[in-house]
Amino acid sequence: MSYSRPSRGAALACCSLIALAAGVMGAAPAFAQRTVPFANGVPVAPLGLANRPLGSGPFTYPTGEGQDIRVDVLARGLQPYSIAFLPDGAMLVAERSGHLRLVRDGRLDPKEVTGGPASYFAAAPGLQGAVHGYMNVVLHPNFAQNHWIYVSYTKPVSATERRIGVFRATLNDHALTDVKDIWLGPTPSGGSTPIVFGKDGMLYVAGGGGNAQAPGTTGGKILRLKDDGSVPADNPFVGQAGYLPEIYTMGHRSSLGLAVHPVTGEIWLSENGPNGGDELNVLKPGKNYGWPLVSLGRQYPGPWQAGNAPTHEGYEPPIVYWTPAIAVAGLTFYTGDKLPKWKGDVFAGGMRTGEVNGTGKLERILFNEKMEELRRESLLVDLGQRIRDVKQGPDGLLYVATDDGALLRISPK
């Protein structure tokens, strides 16, 4: 048998294989992943793309459906969390600092709406420990007659304790009167608290954070209430031992937006996962959406939330999900004629993508007639803004609120 000395390249390849095998068998690897800083169990998000100022605009974009759009920057200097349209076309803006403001014809009214209750807020949006003062604002279905508005907010009950709640008030011009808390979470409680009126005339409220599988608590639940805060007799858990009668659905993580399907009347929820696994859910009475037992996301340190097999088996699955997460926020259905190639689409705000600051965007999702997703498109990506809310205006255009403090209007180019 003849023997030939291996070439230098073959020898190096052989050595590499031996080193790789040694690493697999337990020897120290030749390299390691970076160690990133954590705070309270969450990786500290990078700031390399953060805090990019919003330009003066207008901005123009081609879009995936062949519909060119123009984006105008309207009012600035706000701290918007949500927007609602009054019958005269003015926008009512709830600010996380605990104020209500009016925007007319794209300009901020210098007069603040007065008379609202005190609230608590802290930290810049997106930072750990951020607490929102006023959150979602909605009009009563009979607002034209009763002038009632509803606002979810963080109520200070002592120097150290806070509760989430919903107050009702009568709006007349720039003043609130007859202010009354119609629902308060337990003491203490917190978290984002979207609200919406359904076509059934009932008020749907996210019960904040907490044990989403505990039937005797409001945390991680969507609640269904009458307009005075009392419990409807036909709620799914009325009369069931151990369950709070106001619960409509359970098993939610962090609820940020509620919207009503314009045809079916179904309530849709936008829900933040951990590191990935953001969801849009269609709420069905009495159903369980699985958190924290199931998820399509990872825990912040890295492992899958649901173990080795991300799944929703045995629980209601989302109709849309994002991995990586986009920090999905407010959402709306577009039903207008001004942007005809988007008619029927769902729009959802995103505050950052893949845990990287400065990567917010507006998401557009196209569904078929069975409400099955066909395609989606990311819009306004280059602006780098945290998109907090999106609503269709009475003029058939789309309006967007950013955490940077601006209102944007999307119209045909």
Q: Which tokens go with 170?
A: 């009568």
Q: Quick one: pLDDT at residue 72?
A: 98
Q: Is 128 left (phi over 0), alpha (psi -120 to 50) or beta?
A: beta
Instruction: Assess contact for 108 and 78: CB atoms under 8 A.
Output: yes
Q: Which tokens go with 37?
A: 């800083």
Q: Residue 171 contacts by C-beta under 8 Å, 6 or more apart in sequence? A: 92, 113, 147, 148, 149
Residues 225, 227, 230: CA angle, nearest 5 degrees: 50
Across 206-225, b (16+ Cβ under 10 Å) vs e yields bbbbbebbeeebbbbbbbbb
Q: How far is CA 187 from CA 24, 67, 138, 155, in A?
A: 52, 49, 24, 10
* DSSP state for residue 319 in the 8-state scheme: S
CA 296/CA 349 separation, integer angstroms: 20
Model confidence pLDDT, tens digit, residues 33-55? 888 888 888 888 888 888 889 99
CA 219/CA 197 separation, integer angstroms: 20
* DSSP state for residue 232 in the 8-state scheme: P
Residue 202 CB coordination number (10 Å): 20
Question: Phi and psi (nearest 5°) for 12?
Answer: -65, -40
CA 402/CA 389 separation, integer angstroms: 7
Residues of the chain with confidence (pLDDT) below 70: 1-30, 309
R_g of the chain computed on alpha carbons:
24
Q: Which helix (H) or strand (E) holds 399?
A: strand 398-402
CA 119/CA 165 separation, integer angstroms: 10
Q: How far is CA 346 from CA 265, 278, 331, in A?
A: 14, 15, 7
* DSSP state for residue 174 in the 8-state scheme: T
Q: Which tokens go with 107?
A: 């300009």
Q: Which tokens go with 63?
A: 């879009």
Question: HSE on the CB side for 217, CA within 13 Å?
Answer: 15
The DSSP annotation for 332-379 comes to EE---SSSGGGTT-EEEEES-BTTBTT--EEEEEEE-TT--EEEEEEE
Question: Phi and psi (nearest 5°) for 8?
Answer: -60, -40
Per DSSP, what are the bridge partners of residue 152?
166
- Burial of 279: CB neighbours in 10 Å, binned 0-12, 13-18, 19+: buried
